[in-house]
Amino acid sequence: MALNQNAALSDEEIQKRQKKEQIQLTNRMRLIKHKIVILSGKGGVGKSTVSTNLAIALSQAGKRVGLLDVDIHGPSIPKMLNLESSRITGSGDALLPVELFKDFKVMSIGFLLKNQEDAVIVRGPMKYHTIRQFLKDVVWGDLDYLIVDSPPGTGDEPLTIAQSIENIDGAIIVTTPQQVAISDVRKSITFCRKLNLPIIGVLENMSGFICPHCGEQVDIFSVGGGKKLSDEMGVPFLGRIPLDPEIVVSGDNGTPYTRAFPDSATTKAFREAIGPIMRLAGKND
């Protein structure tokens, strides 16, 4: 994947190249029925955890799924799926995702790093080019769903995704029950509205605690903020994913939670959350 290819090109050549790239990107995306971006107002709310487990839940429902991690500064999907030693394969403008299991493919910007501890220093325009190249070069083939895990906030990365993928179904916004996180969600909602990016819904993560001893749900933070905010802003509410200590363990040892605990209450919450995603009607259905 060559970066900064436009250096020393005339304006006309740049335009020609951009047109060619857009055609390739459109053709790749055309093979994917539904494209969904996962956003959060701030980091640490469990956006990557939610992206991974929603993607797995969709695959458990028999769908062909791709998970794309474009978190340039902190790609965490490779660690969550025990793919830290994976590197980009394929050549030129045909990069192959990792097939973790049947009909479940993963690509992460982290696969570009020699060492997972390496810091990526990429400025705005370069982020745009890097993400667009990922979108146009990764050979997903035919998929039912592409789940895109975007970095927190409303910066270059989600902007590039929203502007580059034609027919994107929309965004899922992940939050936690605490008010401070919720005020950031308003910014995410406003961001989507400004870009005409449909909002599939708000998902409240770390919402209530399932006691590992008695199985009872305890609400340790205030609850209902996500639902209240969704109602207030007129966007769908996708549900609550409890705070579950096993999610941390699964994330740390690279076993996706919903695969490791297919019958738990938390997995059930993920399954309920994909309901509206499964009901999305796309042009390609």
Residues in contact with ligand ADP by CB under 6 A are 40, 43-49, 76, 205-206, 241, 243-244, 247-248, 251
Smallest distance, Å, CB 149 to ligand ADP? Answer: 7
Smallest distance, Å, CB 220 to ligand ADP? Answer: 11
Distance CA(194)–CA(188), nearest Å, equals 10
Smallest distance, Å, CB 247 to ligand ADP? Answer: 4
Smallest distance, Å, CB 193 to ligand ADP? Answer: 22
Closest-CB residue for ligand ADP?
A: 46
Half-sphere exposure of 17 (CA within 13 A, CB side): 14
User: Is residue 201 within 8 Å of 236, Cβ to Cβ?
Assistant: yes
> 195: Cβ–Cβ under 8 A, 6 or more apart, which residues?
159, 162, 163
User: Is residue 280 within 8 Å of 200, Cβ to Cβ?
Assistant: yes
Cβ closest to ligand ADP, residue 25 vs residue 181: 181
Cβ closest to ligand ADP, residue 76 vs residue 154: 76
Structure tokens at 250: 């699964």
Distance CA(261)–CA(205), nearest Å, equals 17
Cβ closest to ligand ADP, residue 129 vs residue 237: 237
Phi, psi of 192 (to 5 degrees): -60, -40
Structure tokens at 26: 């459109």
Smallest distance, Å, CB 40 to ligand ADP? Answer: 5
Cβ closest to ligand ADP, residue 213 vs residue 283: 213
Cβ closest to ligand ADP, residue 130 vs residue 264: 264
